[in-house]
A and B are shown apart, each in its own frame.
Chain A
Amino acid sequence: MNIESLVADLAAKVPGVVLAADPSYVKSYPTMRLSSAAYLLPAASFLKERGFDYLEIITAVDWLGPVSPEGYTRGGRNPHPFSAPEAPALVAVKNPAAAYKPAFDMLWCLANIPARARLLLRLEIPREDPAVPSLTGLFKAADWQEREVFDLLGVRFEGHPNLKKILTPDFLQGHPLRKDYVHVKDRYDE
């Protein structure tokens, strides 16, 4: 399969999908960027028709900034888990070169098994009340992977038939993979 022609076809069919500025930003796979969540379903169904019927991953990155160490400590008794000189500093250090912003960067990876090709779709959404359309109607593999992203990052997938927590216990408050997550004491803390 010629990935360049596919990318051009997709960009022509769904105008809001363009090849990322640095197409191999996610090393080393072609990456396309969606300009709005409305283009996700048309782009995904176009790709599915073209044989990209294997949904490999759904995930998201919280670009708020490096994690605050409070998220790791349980109460005041336990210090930061590592104190070796190589360990990350106790205070989150922001790297000036990195592009922090209050946004989630979503990632979908679709694969075409016979053609041995895969394509990544990216979409930036605001951190406030984050929501994207669910792909469960197109790929059943989206079911649990979307639930995982919902559980750990708090992104709502609109149209998901069973969007509830999957990995963390019911009493856990917040979404642990958000960078501003702070552990709330629960019954397992002394």
Chain B
Amino acid sequence: MSKVDAFPGGKFDQLFVNLGPQHPSTHGVLRVGLTLEGEVITKAEPDIGYLHRGTSKLAEARGYHQCVALTDRWDYVSAMPNNLALCLAAEKLLGVEIPPRAQHLRVVMCELNRIASHLLFLGTYGIDLGAFTPFLHAFREREMILDLYEMLCGARLTYNYIRIGGVMADISPEWASKTGEFLGFFKPRMKEYDDLLSFNPIFLARTQGVGLISKEAAVDWGLSGPNLRGSGVDYDVRKSDPYSGYDRFDFSVPLGKAGSCWDRYYCRALEMRQSVRIVEAALAGLPEGDIVAKGVAKTVKPPPGEAYAHVEASRGDLGIYLVSDGGPSPYRLHVRAPSFVNLAILQEMLVGCKVADVVAILGSIDIVLGETDR
């Protein structure tokens, strides 16, 4: 954090404004130092690290199974893909083959988590822009998914459900029927969100043509997830580098056109529909069999080696680089957190924008600070 100079360079037509770290629209502890000239931003400096817990360092003193619990704390609004990414990397090191039933369960849980995460985005983005009602609708549905997770593994946010070698618990017939009920309830609701928010004229006026990211800039800055696809770049890890048997499911990757806040928003709205398709197909074709691979010990000691695994988490390309020296804990764990990489573009993107649009742009990037800071 740098010293605040309210009038940078002693110029009185410039004003320094601190956005955050406590600010309702920063969705966590993000601070952005804005330099304004009138209403226009001339400099933006995102300042992160307020939530840095050093999980990479912590992992170096814990066993591999214990590290899965650390991953829950990165992107705490959608923790399943975090679990999955670490397990995939560890399984590559161990050379374990995952039973098909566990693969399907992983896909189901990750996609339900994507819906839950996008619902949180949809609700809070509405609030950021002054629409309160969609928030109540979105959270009603999100609660149902969290209830399903509670029924499944006892936790609502930090699941620790996907384990090295498989998953923690099998689903019960009641869980499957409740999930079917939820999907039946949820599908018509997506039209409701469109009526309430997506095509609301006030919402459109605040988001369309605002915060434009070109295709080239999106790739150059390494954006991923709906932020990249909102600019029309067809990149989804589930398609381009399939894992957990995603290549067996039929789904499409929604793309935006203009790269505006609205495109990024609507990509997420459309992605929820695709996630519903995947969940339905995965549950319908759920194979019988084991949920944990045989031969994964309580203390795993992978042979010396390195592995890189990445998944399409709710916020983008979550990569795990894991190094083993043959010991009981990871020698090195590096996390490519999508929120961290996505956030960097703010310093360029906000320059030239009106200060009133900052909240719309910040919200549309959909960051989780737990993941940004790790």
Interface residues of chain A, those whose CB is within 8 Å of chain B, are 25-29, 53-57, 59, 61-62, 66-67, 69, 71-72, 80-82, 86-88, 93, 95, 97-100, 107, 109, 113-114, 116, 118, 120, 139-141, 143-145, 148, 152, 165-170, 176-177
A61 CB contact (under 8 Å) in B58, B323, B344: B323
Task: Judge if B355 is at the interface, Cβ distance under 8 Å.
Answer: no
Q: Which one of B21-29, B280-288, B301-309 contacts A?
A: B301-309
| B-side interface residues, number (CB < 8 Å) | 55
B374 proximity list for chain A (CB < 8 A): 167
In terms of DSSP, what is the predominant structure of the interface of chain A? loop
Residues of B near A67 (CB, < 8 A) are 60-61
Given the contacts A54-B222, A152-B56, A176-B57, A116 and B326 also touching, CB distance less than 8 Å: no
Assess whether B206 is interfacial by the CB under 8 Å rule.
no
In whole Å, how far is B95's beta carbon from the nearest beta carbon of chain A? 9
Chain B interfacial positions (CB closer than 8 Å to A): 1, 48-49, 52, 54, 56-58, 60-63, 66, 92-93, 217, 219-222, 233-235, 240-241, 298-299, 303-308, 310, 317, 319, 321, 323, 325-329, 331-332, 334, 336, 340-341, 343-345, 348, 373-374
Q: What CA separation (Å) do A120 and B306 show in the bound complex? A: 12
Closest-by-CB residue of B relative to A29 is B308
Least distance between B132 CB and chain A CB atoms (Å):
34
B373 and A167 contact, CB distance less than 8 A: yes
Question: A174 to nearest B CB, angstroms?
Answer: 12
Residue of A88, A109, A148, A168 near B308 (CB, 8 A) is: A109
* Chain A nearest Cβ from B368, distance in angstroms: 15
**Which of these, A66, A141, A167, contacts B325 with CB under 8 Å?**
A66
- In angstroms, Cα B299 to Cα A100, docked, is 23
Q: Are B222 and A55 in contact (CB under 8 A)?
A: yes
Would A57 and B336 count as touching, CB distance under 8 A? yes
Distance of A169 Cα from B21 Cα, bound (Å): 14
Pick the contact of B219 from A113, A166, A176, A177 — CB < 8 Å? A113
Distance (whole angstroms) from the CB of B32 to the closest CB of chain A = 14
Q: Let me know if A28 and B92 touch, CB within 8 A.
A: yes
Taken together as a complex, chains A and B put the C-alpha atoms of A67 and B332 apart, in Å, by 10
Nearest CB on A from B341, distance (A): 6
A145, B234: Cα distance in complex, Å: 23
With A53-B220, A54-B219 as contacts: A66 and B331 at CB distance below 8 Å: yes
A167 touches B49 (CB 8 A): yes
B334 and A141 within 8 A (CB): no
- The 6 A-B residue pairs with the shortest CB-CB distance, nearest first, are A141-B222, A98-B325, A95-B326, A144-B344, A59-B334, A27-B307
| In contact, B234 and A176 (Cβ under 8 angstroms) | no
What is the bound-complex CA distance between A189 and B364, given in angstroms? 38
Q: Which residues from chain A contact B307 at a C-beta distance below 8 Å? A: 26-28
